Structure 1
Amino acid sequence: MSMTINKELPNPAALKAQFPLPEDIRRIKAQRDAEIAKVFRGESDKFLVIVGPCSADNEDAVCEYTQRLARVNEQVQDKLILIPRIYTNKPRTTGEGYKGMLHQPDPDKAPDLLGGIIAIRKMHMRAIRETGLTCADEMLYPENRSYLDDLLSYEAIGARSVENQQHRLTASGMDIPAGMKNPTSGDLAVMMNSIKAAQSAHNFIYRGCDVTTTGNPLAHAILRGGVDKYGTNIPNYHYEDLTRLSALYEKSGLQNPACIVDANHSNSGKQFKEQIRIVSEVLHSRAHNDGVHRLVKGVMIESYLIEGAQKISDCMVHGQSITDPCLGWADTERLLLTIADRI
């Protein structure tokens, strides 16, 4: 094979033993997991906001961001559940470009996967310790989630991964909500099939073991828009899209019908400021229709300390995205307070 083994990486159990989870963080996660699960089971009317940078590229900037979120959380926690986005893997359409902190703990240095695995575990632990907020990440590589599975309260399966069998089967073994995005084509049938797979029990190979899962009843839809064969964005956050998804759920027999609306990506055409308007429209749709209100459990927003995006260089701006452009903090804080006022 045209493949070189650079080094053998520690298994997740060894890494967890090296960087163990303190008991106070275990208690925080258990409490947060239970609170979030109640929303997806329809036992809580709180609204989820999964918010943070497109890609978590710098520990200090990410933790400064989560500290600011924690201060806002004190004002809105009776209505909202804020889940920081700490996305440590970055999918690349062509395979080129920055692939996230897992690959490069320092974006302007060579890839270092062992250093990356350690860096992302330490960053997630620090964020919880400093804020009391457990976070979300994307399951880009199913076998790598075991390095973080004792820390996360939410995981998303991306538009390019949702049709992959290993992603679906792995999601079926999670004990936290798994958000299944519609694929880049916008095909809702594919997304619904992925939710069904994730909610079902399976037997398969995982990390060299024969495993059986019981199914994940908290697997649900994420609407992120699509792109047609001509490259035109097709949003799917409008009222008609939400009622259509509600009807699909009614026919499906799936457990805990739920949807998170991703306000960026193909819903905004990556026009990051549009996220403010899109969230407002989603809230209006929820207020207009009881079925949509029950279905839409939250929104996903890309946001960082400084708005926009930058290239990787020798003079980086602290807290500005190096991947997709994001809302800045001032807009984010106003938006969170507005959401809380309208829920």
Structure 2
Amino acid sequence: MSGNKLEDLNVASQETLITPETLKQDMPLSGSAAQTVTDGRQAIYDIIDGKDHRLFLVVGPCSIHDADAARDYAARLKKLADEVSDTLLIVMRVYFEKPRTTVGWKGLINDPHLNDTFDIERGLQLGRRLLLDINELGLPVATEALDPISPQYLQDTIAWSAIGARTTESQTHREMSSGLSMAIGFKNGTDGNLDVAVNAMKSVSYPHSFLGIDQQGQVAIIRTKGNRYGHVVLRGGGGKPNYDSVSVTLCEQALDKAGLRKSIMVDCSHANSSKDPAIQPLVMQDVSHQILEGNTSIQSLMIESNINWGNQSIPENLADLQYGVSVTDACIDWATTEKAIRDMRNKLKDVLPGRKAV
């Protein structure tokens, strides 16, 4: 029996990955990019604290698969962000990791070549380069913290993070979030369950100790201080939306009962739009109406937007990819994005300055 192998029976291979410290040395954050991160984080804190009357909008592709198209999108979004900055703080959605219900493309970091080669080190390099470039524009960025290791490589560039519907209930992600250096949005469960997000908010506000890696890539015990800027993201679920005024009121009541701040983000996509991008602007209109009617708890929105409309499957010949079209969930196009955001700004610009702090 002593000759029997007991470990790694289902492991095909292992590769040593570049350390977070080395990647950051190779691709350092410039002074101007660091200022974008700092200012973006503080503005979001101030909005959540009720010190800044604006809403913050996380806007961008469902996922990034083409870094050049993402730069094109970022340049457009920066101009729009400057135009509406008196009313809306625009943060670009830059999602590199995609949770899958079964199997499928897992995102730019895991599979940057879109061909199941899983060149993760190249994915980290491409991802960090893109994040640096967008921050250099003066546009803060948001992402989903999915893998518990990758934040050590990238989170110094991020102004806001999400924990997705599939991982909000995960202890690993709650512990990780308690140590992240920005506000964190927790989505309700895929079945629409709100309790998992409320419980996550409570959990991350406390210190935690857990296993992770340090900047040198060594396994370490991570001890956190807790994060008091957790908030709920309503994304619908179980085939039903939950952005309407009744659902928002029920969320407010649940947060109040738990002794938590009534800070709500509405995700205009996913079950709130029945995955039909044409419904996203209608959700934005409904939210604007709720605010005009006196709502004070909705402080942010998420919008899935790309250069061109809809989505596409990843073709066998990558040369056949359509430019600026999502390879995951369908998105609204740029023209629709501009109009929806300008309309929201025009409706709310005179109302938000007098909004009461939550």
Q: Secondary structure at the match of 2:284?
A: helix
Pairing partner for 2:225 from 189, 214, 226: 214
Bigger Rg, which one: 2
Residue segments in structure 2 that go unaligned for 5+ positions in a row: 1-7, 214-218, 349-358
What residue number does 1:76 align with?
84
Pairing partner for 1:120 from 109, 114, 127: 127
What residue number does 1:235 align with?
241
What residue number does 2:202 align with?
196
- What CA deviation, in whole Å up to 9, does each residue of 1:148-190 have, x standing for no partner? 1110001000000111101001101122110000011111111
Q: Secondary structure at the match of 1:82?
A: strand
- Offset of residue 118 of structure 1: 0.8
What residue number does 2:327 align with?
322
What residue number does 1:230 align with?
none
Alpha-carbon distance in structure 1 between the residues aligned to 2:256 and 2:91: 28
Alpha-carbon distance in structure 2 between the residues aligned to 1:286 and 1:178: 22
Alpha-carbon distance in structure 1 between the residues aligned to 2:333 and 2:115: 23
Q: Secondary structure at the match of 2:159?
A: strand
Greater shift in the superposed pair: 47-56 or 8-17: 8-17
Q: Letter of the 1:118 partner, please give it.
A: Q
What residue number does 1:12 align with?
20
Q: 2:114 aligned with 1:107, yes or no?
A: yes
Length-normalised TM-score, structure 1: 0.94
Is the Cα contact below 8 Å between 1:46 and 1:79 reproduced in 2? yes
What residue number does 1:136 align with?
142
- Offset of residue 109 of structure 1: 6.0
Aligned pairs for 1:46-57 within 5 A: 46-57=54-65
Pairing partner for 1:253 from 259, 262, 265: 259
Alpha-carbon distance in structure 2 between the residues aligned to 1:222 and 1:276: 17
Q: Secondary structure at the match of 1:305?
A: coil
What residue number does 1:264 align with?
269
Percent identical among aligned pairs is 32
- What CA deviation, in whole Å up to 9, does each residue of 1:276-332 have, x standing for no partner? 11111111112213xx32x11111000000001112123111100011110000000
Is the Cα contact below 8 Å between 1:108 and 1:312 reproduced in 2? no
Alpha-carbon distance in structure 2 between the residues aligned to 1:169 and 1:288: 37
Q: Letter of the 2:184 partner, please give it.
A: A
Q: Letter of the 1:161 partner, please give it.
A: T
Length-normalised TM-score, structure 2: 0.90
Q: 2:165 aligned with 1:154, yes or no?
A: no
Alpha-carbon distance in structure 1 between the residues aligned to 2:13 and 2:205: 36
Greater shift in the superposed pair: 207-216 or 261-270: 207-216
Q: 2:93 aligned with 1:85, yes or no?
A: yes
What residue number does 1:311 align with?
313
- Offset of residue 267 of structure 1: 1.0
Q: Secondary structure at the match of 2:150?
A: helix
Residue segments in structure 1 that go unaligned for 5+ positions in a row: 228-232
Alpha-carbon distance in structure 1 between the residues aligned to 2:183 and 2:33: 19
Aligned pairs for 1:178-193 within 5 A: 178-193=184-199
Q: Give the count of matched residue pairs.
A: 332
Q: Secondary structure at the match of 1:73?
A: helix
4+ aligned runs moved over 4 Å, structure 1: none
Q: Secondary structure at the match of 2:211?
A: strand
Pairing partner for 2:285 from 280, 285, 303: 280
Alpha-carbon distance in structure 1 between the residues aligned to 2:222 and 2:312: 43
- Offset of residue 41 of structure 1: 1.1
Alpha-carbon distance in structure 2 between the residues aligned to 1:262 and 1:99: 21
